[in-house]
Chain A
Amino acid sequence: QVQLVQSGAEVKKPGASVKVSCKASGYTFTSYYMHWVRQAPGQGLEWMGIINPSGGSTSYAQKFQGRVTMTRDTSTSTVYMELSSLRSEDTAVYYCARGPYGSSSGFDYWGQGTLVTVSS
């Protein structure tokens, strides 16, 4: 069965960076794009970007350009999302989600989420 298992909660100081992992299993890792989505406390979902696990190409929402880096390790079927220059507004639950680049295929499986708290 398809599973996306994310790394544990993080507490970071303003200005620091955080790297969240998402380990995939139960399917061919390089055959599906992976997205990152975040949700601030009490707020809605926000799409951050996408990575192609096959070639490593990425595309980021304009809001996060310059601060986010998405990478992958095909040997461990893991994608990573690193967010730098953290500020309090980055406190949120970060999710990985399997989904299409832009086609009729659907978003389907989600990770359990990783809480990132930014606090001095």
Chain B
Amino acid sequence: QTVVTQEPSLTVSPGGTVTLTCASSTGAVTSGYYPNWFQQKPGQAPRALIYSTSNKHSWTPARFSGSLLGGKAALTLSGVQPEDEAEYYCLLYYGGALWVFGGGTKLTVL
């Protein structure tokens, strides 16, 4: 059973910087896992932010960036805004069309 692990919760001050990570039970996350990141606010469908580790969609704010960090996929928010308070999910590819979501990180802006 493949498990993808994220921090359950993080808190950041407005204007600050925070990094969310995404680890795989199978070992180091590499670019071949094509990490995707999503933002979800209560009562809404998820919104895609990052794909293939570090690529942004046309609608992704510049303050969001993706990378690989210490064997994990990472999502960094720089200059956090109050509207960034949300749940964030990563998604990794395991081959054979199999994708697995992380458990999500609840980001609080306080």
* Chain A residues whose CB sits within 8 angstroms of the CB of B97 once the complex forms: 50, 59, 101-102
Interface bracket on B: 20 to 34
Question: Which one of A46, A99, A103 lies within 8 Å of B101 (CB-CB)?
Answer: A46
**Interface bits A23-64 vs B (CB < 8 Å: 1, else 0):** 000000000000101000000111100100000000101000
What is the predominant secondary structure among interface residues of chain B facing chain A?
strand
**Using a CB-CB cutoff of 8 Å, which residues 30-48 of chain B contact chain A?**
34, 36, 38, 40, 45-48
Number of interchain pairs (Cβ within 8 Å): 72
Q: Which of B10-18, B21-29, B74-82, B87-95 contacts A (4 or more CB under 8 A)?
A: B87-95
What is the predominant secondary structure among interface residues of chain A facing chain B?
loop
B45 touches A111 (CB 8 A): yes
A47-B101, A95-B45, A102-B34 known; A107+B93 contact, CB < 8 A: no
A44-B104, A59-B97, A110-B47 known; A103+B34 contact, CB < 8 A: yes
B98 touches A59 (CB 8 A): yes
Residues of B within 8 A of A (CB): 34, 36, 38, 40, 45-48, 50-52, 55, 57, 87, 89, 91, 93, 95-104
